[in-house]
Amino acid sequence: MADASLMVWIDQDLCTGDGICEEIAPDVFQARDDGLWVVKESAEHWGTEIVFDGNQAADGSRGVARVHDSQLEAVVEAAEECPGECIMIEPFDQEIFTKRGA
């Protein structure tokens, strides 16, 4: 498995539900039942799929997903194109990763 250099999460208070993020990076973003979007770690990249949707794992700022190296450009593009400016990208932080909701 690759090391992550970035982590990503979505501020649901800012999410407009457009879904542009999933169009650009479907391995990282997924719709939630209420029409907002959340992040995920796909099994293809991390061995197990975790959806940070408030059910399987925490959402919001506690639902922080690692960004696989192969997804870096797509995640940055998704954040740039997001009309709600709700996609938060941060450098990988082991302490946050350890405390996240997974």
- Burial (0-12, 13-18, 19+ Cβ within 10 Å), 91: exposed
Q: Which domains does the chain have, with CATH numbers?
A: 6-95 (3.30.70.20)
Strand order in the sheet with 87-91: 65-67, 6-10, 87-91
Residue 97 confidence (pLDDT):
83
DSSP state of 48: S
The predicted pLDDT at position 60 comes to 87
Mean pLDDT per 10-residue interval, the chain, length 102 residues = 81 94 97 93 93 90 92 97 96 86 54
Q: Are 1 and 46 in contact (CB under 8 A)?
A: yes
